[in-house]
Amino acid sequence: MAAGTIRYWAAAKAAAGTAEEPYAAETLAEALGAVRSAHPGELSRVLQRCSFLVDGHQVGKRSHDEVLLTEGGTVEVLPPFAGG
């Protein structure tokens, strides 16, 4: 199991009530499951619209079960931004 940091941006930060928190998980799916349990309600709804960066790399359409997390890594939670 890897340990690292989840960083929340914009609406995700507001819904989580924090800018960042630690993770202890092997996959992105596992980390997000823990986040949903820790922050039920609005954050779970916001996460459905977010994109994710893991260690600076876009997750894109990959299954979150297949995205492995690294020791000391970073998950960026990016809600849709307005503008263009």
Does 84 score more than 90 pLDDT? no
CATH superfamily of this structure's domain 2-78 = Beta-grasp domain (3.10.20.30)
pLDDT at 40: 87
Strands 74-78 and 57-58: unpaired
Instruction: Give me the residue spans of the domains in the chain.
Output: 2-78
Write down the pTM of the prediction: 0.92
> Considering just the CA atoms, what is the radius of gyration of the chain in Å?
12
Does 80 score more than 90 pLDDT? no
pLDDT at 83: 54
pLDDT at 31: 98
Question: pLDDT digit string (tens) for 25-68?
Answer: 999 999 999 999 999 889 999 999 999 999 999 999 999 999 99
- Specify the 3-state DSSP secondary structure of 46: helix
